[in-house]
Structure 1
Amino acid sequence: MYLSIDAFFSNISTGLGIVQLLFLVGGGLILFTYSRLIPFRYMGHAIAILRGKYDKHDSPGDLSHYEALSSAIAATVGMGNISGVAIAIAMGGPGAIFWMWVSAFVGMATKFFTCSLAIMYRGKDEEGNTKGGPMYVITEGLGKNWKGLSIFFALAGLIGTLPAFQANQLTQTLVDVFEVNKANEFTAKLILGISIAIIVATVIFGGIKRIGSVAGKLVPIMVVVYLLTVLTILVLKIEEVPSIFSLIFTDAFTGKSVLGGALGALIITGVKRAAFSNEAGLGTAPMMHGTAKTNEPIREGLVAMLGPAIDTLLVCTLTALAILASGIWKGFEGDGITMTLAAFNAVLPFNSGSIILTVCVLIFAFSTLFTYSFYGYSCLSYLTNAKIGKYYNYIYILVIIIASVIKLDFVINLMDSAYALMAIPTIISTLILAPKVKKAATIYFQKLKTNSF
C-alpha cells in the first residue's frame, strides 16, 4: 500500500513519541528524585553566577556563564514558545500545557546533570577549541567502547538541529501578517526564505563568539518585549485567568486529544512540545554550556537549570494563557503561528497584535536560527573534523530556504523524530554518570558553605 512521505514521518514521529516520553520524563524523574532537590535550593546562587560574580577570564572556554545561557536560551526561547504552544493546544487541548509544566520541572533537573557533565567531560577539536556535548560526555566519561552511542547522537543531531521549524514559521508569520494572496504565497515564501538565509549567514559564519555576543544582546530584549505584550493581554482578560488555570488542570486528565482522545496521547503531546521548547534531555544545550569559561562543572549546571524555568514555566505559560484567554482556540481551523497571531489580534486593539507579534517573532526566530547552527556544526565536527564541520553552515543556509516553502506537518514530524533519537544517548549517558555529578555537587556546595572558593 502506498504511503506518502508525510504519513511515513507522521507514523515514525508517533512511535518515537513514546520513546521520547520514556526517556525525557522517565529519565528526568529519576534525575529529579536522585538530586534530592538540592540544586533547586541554590537558585539564588545560580543567579549570582549568571551575573558574573564568579567569572574568571583565564578559565578554559569561549563564553561567559551569561553568554552561554543567553545562547542556549536564544535557541530555546523561540518559535517553540510562540508557535509550539499553539500547536500543543490545537493537538491536545489546554491540558497539554500541564504536561509541558511537568516536563519542564523534571527538565530543570535533567539540565543540571547534563550541563554539569558537559563541563566535567568536555573535549577539544583538532584546532584546540574547547568542545562540549553528549558526544564528548560519552567518549570522555564512559570510554571509547561507548563511541557508537556518541556517533548515534551526532547523526541524529545533524537532523535535529536543522533550522526547518524556525524558518517555516517565520515565513508563515510574515505571509499571514501581510495577507499575501494564496496564488503568490509560494513565491513570497521563497523570497522571504532567501532573505532570511542571507541575514543568518552574516552572523553564523562569524563563529561561536559572534553568535554568543549577538544572543547576549537579543535575548533580554526579546523576552521583555514579549512578556510585556502578553501581560497586557492578560490584564485585558483578567477575569478569564482563574478559569483558564482550572481548565488546564482539569483538561490535563480528562481532555480529548485529536490524536485519539487518550490520556497517553495528551501527555505525549505536552512532552513533545516542551522538548521543542526547552530541549532538556535532548543534548543540544550541553553543547553550548560546554563552551563556558569555568573550571566548576556544578556552576554551569546551576546556570543551565534556569533555562527551562525561563523558557517553559514563564514564556510558554504566558503564551498559553494569552491564547486561551482570547477564546480563539475553540474550533480554530489552523495551528502554529496562525493561531497565536489570531489570538493576539482578537484581544489587542487596532490589530496591533500583528505588529507586535511580528517584531517578537523576528527576534525570537533569528536568535534561534543564529544559535542552532553551532549545534549542527559541533555534531558534524565531531563526526569528521573541525574543517569539514564548517561546511554545515552551508547546508544550514540551504535548509532555511527549503523549509520556508514546505508543509508544517512534515517539518514537525521530522524534527520530533530527530529529537526523540537524540534523547536516547543523552539520557543513557547522563543516568550512568549521574553519581559523578552528585559527588562533585556535594564537594562544591560544601566549599560554598565554608567560603572556600
Structure 2
Amino acid sequence: MDAANDWLLLWGDNLWTWAVLPVVVLLGLYFTIRSGVVQFRLLPEMFRTLTDKTPRTTDGKPQSVSSFQAFTISAASRVGVGNIAGVGTAIAIGGPGAVFWMWLMAFIGGASAFIESSLAQLYKTRDKDGFRGGPAYYMQRGLGARWMGILFAIILIICFPIAFSSLQANTIQATISGSFGDDAVGWLPWVIGISLAVLMALVIFGGVRRIASVTQTLVPAMALLYLLLGLVIVAIHIERLPEVFATIFTQAFGPNEVVGATLGYIILTGVKRGMFSNEAGLGSAPNAGASAAVTHPVKQGLVQTLGVYFDTFLVCSITAFIVLVSVPDLAGAERGISLTQGAIVGALGEWSNVLLSIIIFLLAFSSILGNYYYGESNIEFITPRPGVLLGYRILAVVAVLVGSIVSADLVWNFADGAMGFMALVNLVAIALLSGVAFRLLKDYTQQRREGRDPVFTRDRLPDVRNIEVWEDELSVTGPIDLPVKRRQAEKHRDHLHHAPHQE
C-alpha cells in the first residue's frame, strides 16, 4: 500500500509539474487577454446576473434551476475539504507563499471558468428536470468528439462522486471523532458513515431540484458561519495581520526555510490546492452551470467566475488567515485538517471543536451533493438507461460510507492525479472552442451597450452547429411548453447521432 501511495504521489507531481501547470497558466493568460480581462472588467455584471429572474414554463414553474441555485450547486462542490484541509496542507507544505499563488491562479483561472461555463450553457440539453450539460456535451456537440466526452465523463465520475466525496466523508468523520478526543470509540466512524450515506440517499433520490433546494440553504449558511468564525479569530490576533500579509507576499518568491519548500514547489502547491478548491478550468463547475435557466450563456459564465472568487478570495483566504495568525511557527506543522483544527482550538478553546464539526459537516456534505450531481449529469451523457443511473447512485452512497472508515492518503494522491488528467482533457476542449465563447461575450456586451437585458438565440450565431436549445426568444425568456420542447430536443439529438459533424 505504501509503494502504491508513493508511486501515485510521484506520478501526480510529475503530471502537474510538466503538463497541467504550464497549460493552466498559459491558457488562463490567453483567455484573460483575448476576453479583455473579463474576470475583472465585468465584475459588476456577475452580481447583477446572480439574481436574474428564472424563465418560466407555461404552467408557471421555473424552466430549470435558477442562476443562483446553479451557483450554489457549484459552490457546494467547490467549498469543502479543499478550503479547510486543502489550504492547511498547502501552508504546511509550501509555507505562507503558497497562498499568494492560490490567489493569483484564482484570478487567472476566472477567465477559464468563464469560458467553460459559457460553452456549457450554449451546448446544454433538456431533460426531465430542466437542463443539463457540461464538458462532455460541448466536446460532442462543439468538437464532434463523443469519444472525448465519454473519456472526460468517466474521469469525472471516478474523480468527483467517488474519490472526492470519499475525502469529504473522511474529513467529516475525522473532525467529529476528533471532537470526542480520547473518548471516541471504534464504532463511531461506522455510525458517522452510515448516517452520511442515509442522508445523502434521501437527497439524491429526489433529483436535481431537491439537491438545488438543499444546497441553496446549506451553502450560504455554512459560508457565513465559517467566515464569522474566521473573522473572530483574526480580530483576536489583529496585531499579527500586517505581518501575515507581508509573509504571504515575501515568501511567494523565494525558498521557505521553515518548511523546506523551494520556489517551484511553493508555486506547484498553491496552484494544485487552489484548483482542487476553486475548480477553475477543471471542467466540474460547468455541469452545474449548464443546469441553469438563463437568457444568455454568458450570464452563467459570469456567475461561475464569481464562484471562483467566492471560494478562493473569501473562504480559502479566511482559512489561511486563521492558520497564519494563530500558528506563527510552521516548523513541523501537521498537514490537512489537523493544522486548521489546531489553530481554531488554540485561538478559541476546546469548545470550538464542536462548532468546527458543524461547519465541516455543512461544508463537506454540501460538497458531496455537488459532486454527486456532476456524476449524474455525466452518467446521463454516457447512457440514458435507468438501471445504470440507479447503480451509480448506489455506488456514490457506498463511496461515502467507505470514505468514512478508511485512510484518506491513498485517495488524496489518486484524486490529485485524476484531477490533473481531467483538467488537461477539459482545457484542450475549451481552447479549441474558445472562439465561440468570445463571440458569445461580444454579443452579450453589445446588447448591454444598447441598454438591453441580453437574450441569446441560436440564429445570432448561425454558423455554429449542434445547438439544441435557444430556439427563439420566447422559448428563452419564457413561458415555454417543456414537453413539446423536449420532444423537439429528442429529434434533434437523434439527428446529431446520425448526421456527420460540421464545424
Q: TM-score, normalised by structure 2?
A: 0.84
1:99-248 aligned within 5 A = 99-124=101-126, 130-143=131-144, 146-161=145-160, 162=162, 163-180=165-182, 184-185=185-186, 187-248=187-248
- Structure 2 residue aligned with 1:420: 420
The one-letter code of the counterpart of 1:198 is: V
8 Å CA contact 1:328–1:339 kept in 2: the answer is no
1:266-415 aligned within 5 A = 266-327=266-327, 330-348=330-348, 350-387=349-386, 388-415=388-415
- Structure 1 residue aligned with 2:28: 28
Deviation at 1:415, TM superposition (A): 1.1
Identity %: 34
1:82–1:257 Cα change, 3 Å: farther
Deviation at 1:401, TM superposition (A): 1.5
- Structure 2 residue aligned with 1:77: 79
Deviation at 1:357, TM superposition (A): 1.3
Q: Distance in 1 between matches of 2:180 and 2:321?
A: 26
8 Å CA contact 1:89–1:329 kept in 2: the answer is no
8 Å CA contact 1:95–1:255 kept in 2: the answer is no
1:45–1:103 Cα change, 3 Å: same
- Structure 2 residue aligned with 1:13: 12
Q: Distance in 2 between matches of 1:21 and 1:181?
A: 44
1:199–1:328 Cα change, 3 Å: farther
What secondary structure is seen at the aligned counterpart in 2 of 1:130?
A: strand
What secondary structure is seen at the aligned counterpart in 1 of 2:64?
A: coil
Q: Distance in 2 between matches of 1:253 and 1:369?
A: 35
1:333–1:44 Cα change, 3 Å: closer
Structure 1, unaligned stretches of length 5 or more? none
The one-letter code of the counterpart of 1:135 is: A
Q: Distance in 1 between matches of 2:389 and 2:9?
A: 30
8 Å CA contact 1:21–1:271 kept in 2: the answer is yes
8 Å CA contact 1:121–1:141 kept in 2: the answer is yes
Deviation at 1:452, TM superposition (A): 3.0
Q: Distance in 2 between matches of 1:344 and 1:38?
A: 37
Deviations 1:407-431 (A, max 9, x none): 2321211111111111112111111
The one-letter code of the counterpart of 1:384 is: T
Larger radius of gyration: 2
1:79–1:98 Cα change, 3 Å: same
The one-letter code of the counterpart of 2:365 is: F
Deviations 1:372-421 (A, max 9, x none): 11111222222222521342111111111211222232121111111111
Q: TM-score, normalised by structure 1?
A: 0.93
The one-letter code of the counterpart of 1:292 is: A
8 Å CA contact 2:95–2:330 kept in 1: the answer is no
Deviation at 1:40, TM superposition (A): 2.4
- Structure 2 residue aligned with 1:438: 438
The one-letter code of the counterpart of 1:340 is: T
Deviation at 1:4, TM superposition (A): 2.1
Deviations 1:136-186 (A, max 9, x none): 01111111xx2222122111111111212101111110111111468x44x
- Structure 1 residue aligned with 2:491: none
Q: Count matched residues.
A: 445
Point out the more displaced range, 13-22 or 365-374: 13-22
Deviation at 1:232, TM superposition (A): 0.6
- Structure 2 residue aligned with 1:66: 68
Structure 2, unaligned stretches of length 5 or more? 454-503
Q: Distance in 2 between matches of 1:303 and 1:160?
A: 24
Alpha-carbon RMSD: 2.1
Deviation at 1:92, TM superposition (A): 1.1
8 Å CA contact 2:98–2:252 kept in 1: the answer is yes
Q: Distance in 2 between matches of 1:115 and 1:34?
A: 17
Deviation at 1:129, TM superposition (A): 5.5
The one-letter code of the counterpart of 1:378 is: S
Deviation at 1:303, TM superposition (A): 0.9
Deviation at 1:71, TM superposition (A): 0.9
8 Å CA contact 2:20–2:423 kept in 1: the answer is yes
What secondary structure is seen at the aligned counterpart in 2 of 1:280?
A: coil
Deviations 1:5-49 (A, max 9, x none): 212221222122222212322222221222111352222222121
Deviations 1:316-358 (A, max 9, x none): 011101101001662345221111111001111x423212211
What secondary structure is seen at the aligned counterpart in 2 of 1:105?
A: helix
Deviation at 1:106, TM superposition (A): 1.2
Q: Distance in 2 between matches of 1:257 and 1:279?
A: 30
Point out the more displaced range, 252-261 or 17-26: 252-261
Deviation at 1:133, TM superposition (A): 0.6
Q: Distance in 2 between matches of 1:73 and 1:32?
A: 22
Q: Distance in 1 between matches of 2:329 and 2:118?
A: 40
1:445–1:167 Cα change, 3 Å: same
8 Å CA contact 1:61–1:291 kept in 2: the answer is no
1:362–1:204 Cα change, 3 Å: same
